[in-house]
Structure 1
Amino acid sequence: MDRIVDIATDGRHLSAYRGFLIVSEDRAEVGRIPLDDVAAVIVHAHGVTWSTSLIVALAQRGAVMVLCGSNHAPVAVCLPLDGHHAQNSRMRAQWEAGKPLSKQLWRRIIIAKIRWQAAVLDANGIPSSAFDLLARRVGSGDPDNVEAQAARRYWPLLMGEGFRRDRNAEDINALLNYGYTVLRSLCARAVVGSGLHPSIGVHHANRTNAFALADDLIEPFRPLVDALALRLFARGIVSVTPEAKRAFASLIALDLPGPDGTTTVSGAANRAAQSLARAFQSGQAADILLPSPPSALELAGLDSLLP
């Protein structure tokens, strides 16, 4: 079972003992979780310490540790080095992938993202026919920046005319930051587990971004966070409360439609990363398998995550 462990209390110490992640305060144990259940540990609090043996134990299981700033956005991630038995050949193929392949992969990612945005709008009773047209206009590498055009329409429709996406704001933006952090850690883990290098992206290429490929892969999943953040906000949860964190942590287990039946968000991320590795090796962008847009009924499953 994949679990997101959030550490939000100052002064906690994290360690590993007999297959468990142990959380302690003033040398007294306050909680434990089986290490085999942990997908990611997200640290928000100040003064948190941890043992080297814990980091090693997490890495051996393919889990990641994410350190966040005050705005709930990630500032550092600890990832395992060994991710897949075919890691060497897959990383070589990833590194040698030409621009035409990378541009075609990015086109497919953006089309999927825009169709997901349309699905979220539809589920909220907002007409989205324009987004279907936008998705058809996405070219190789998205030279016309249709992604940005869609975003300029999407945010006011979903959140209201006064909304502005601001990573440093303390309103619903903080909920979005936290939700994206959960997904980023999930995608980073999927990328490494598929034998790919997280810093070599198909589009995101900032040399200071060590998780460019995870940031590419997260794009189609972002509207899920948007939809859940909107539901939390409607419930009066306007900041990153413990209830909000639990809801976002549970998001990775939500069922999504897939080509072979339903799968979880976690499973969809793993499948996308594995298929991306195959696309690098085959040179065929069509090999990437991205999550299909959910129906309004399937998105209604988000209600089960609400407090």
Structure 2
Amino acid sequence: MSYHIVSIDAPDCSLSCKDGQLTCKSAEGNKTIPLEDVAAVIITSFSVSIHSKLLLEAARHGVGLVICENFKPASLVLPANRSTDTLLTKSQAYITAQLRKRLWQKTVEAKCRNQHSLAAELAPNDSRLEKLDRIARSVHPSKESECAKIFWRIYAEHVAETDDFRRGRHEGGPNPLLNYGYAVLLSTILQNLFAIGLDPTFGIFHVPREQSTPLAYDLMEPFRPCVDWRVAEWIHRHPDEKDWQVTREFRQWVTAFPLEKVDWFELTLDVRGVIEGVIRSFRQAVVTAQSGPYKPWTRTLTKWAG
């Protein structure tokens, strides 16, 4: 059964296939895995050579290769018989409005609860936490925006330590750090969408635009607090605002957050592994036309990792 998604990020490595084994050779040594157990290979390494035999064997086993530039998928190498999954594409294209609404409700609920969880970690004695928790657990139609208002006020006071912080793409303060972190998160979501076979152009809430990927924007929402926490930790270690720039050091720091451990049901996995599990559950929900299988991530037991 093909179920592993293999991520290749080692520098100056080579990929090949011999006797049915996917082999990665790098300075750290050789690692192998049976190709028949692989669903897709995500290549984020800046310098990797791929043997032509691997391309042929991957095609024979139905394995897709996602080749990234700056962590964002730039090319897909798919077997001819997997280039179009008719059932999945049809399921995505003709998803009902009711199912789309329910999937988005579950996504927003997870995001709001994660925002409350992080706010409670950042400011455990803040008087607004009770209201934030109440709204996060409600069925209020505007709960996403209401939770965001409270969350960012708490974040501003206890992280940015300012009264005039505003969350926005072109605003100052911690915003450049947050924007870069969200871009890394978006790339990680896209990698897994392509690897699992979902078309990111079929979203459930975000509006399609030219060259946009609305489904990736949809499914990244519950994971945004992971970036918010990572940035909060950076600011805690670099309190001088002149250090709140997207430097090489910060890029290295924030791009490691997908490897941080979080809880997902009864498992403790890295964020990247949880993203894969969530997207697989979303795929099952779409194919079965039921919202039940979809299990967006909600932080449960452990402290936020730094």
TM-score where L is the length of structure 2: 0.73
Residue 181 of structure 1 aligns with an amino acid whose one-letter code is A
Please say if residues 118 and 132 of structure 1, whose CA atoms lie closer than 8 Å, have aligned partners that are also in contact: yes
Task: Give the CA deviation at 1:17.
Answer: 7.6
Matched residues, percent identical? 22
Match of 2:226 among 212, 224, 249: 224
Task: Give the CA deviation at 1:82.
Answer: 3.5
- Bigger Rg, which one: 2
Task: Give the CA deviation at 1:240.
Answer: 1.3
Residue of structure 1 in register with 2:237 after alignment: 235
- Tell me how large the CA RMSD over aligned residues is: 3.5
Match of 2:180 among 170, 178, 181: 178
Residue 298 of structure 1 aligns with an amino acid whose one-letter code is K
Question: Which ranges of structure 2 fall in alignment gaps of 5 or more residues?
Answer: 1-5, 17-25, 33-40, 56-62, 158-162
- Pair 1:168-2:163 in alignment: no
Please say if residues 87 and 196 of structure 1, whose CA atoms lie closer than 8 Å, have aligned partners that are also in contact: no
TM-score where L is the length of structure 1: 0.73
Q: Distance in 2 between matches of 1:248 and 1:286?
A: 33
Q: Distance in 1 between matches of 2:180 and 2:45?
A: 10
Residue 156 of structure 1 aligns with an amino acid whose one-letter code is R
Residue of structure 1 in register with 2:117 after alignment: 119
Q: How many residues align?
A: 261
Residue of structure 1 in register with 2:200 after alignment: 198
Deviations 1:34-87 (A, max 9, x none): 9x99856599xxxxxx99989x98x953243358xxxxxxxx852526499583
Residue 154 of structure 2 aligns with an amino acid whose one-letter code is L
Q: Mapping of 1:284-303 within 5 angstroms?
A: 284-295=290-301, 297-299=302-304, 301-302=305-306
| Stretch moving more, 176-185 or 232-241 | 232-241
Q: Distance in 2 between matches of 1:243 and 1:167?
A: 21
Residue of structure 2 in register with 1:254 after alignment: 260
Residue 240 of structure 1 aligns with an amino acid whose one-letter code is V
Q: Distance in 1 between matches of 2:228 and 2:7?
A: 21
- Pair 1:279-2:285 in alignment: yes
Please say if residues 119 and 293 of structure 1, whose CA atoms lie closer than 8 Å, have aligned partners that are also in contact: yes
Question: Which ranges of structure 1 fall in alignment gaps of 5 or more residues?
Answer: 6-13, 21-30, 44-49, 68-75, 303-307
Q: Distance in 2 between matches of 1:230 and 1:120?
A: 10
Residue of structure 2 in register with 1:19 after alignment: 15
Check 1:287–1:197 CA distance in 2 against 1; reply closer, same or farther (3 A cut): same
Q: Distance in 2 between matches of 1:108 and 1:247?
A: 30
Task: Give the CA deviation at 1:285.
Answer: 1.0
Q: Which has the higher contact order (CA 8 A, sep 6+)?
A: 1
Q: Distance in 2 between matches of 1:42 and 1:173?
A: 27
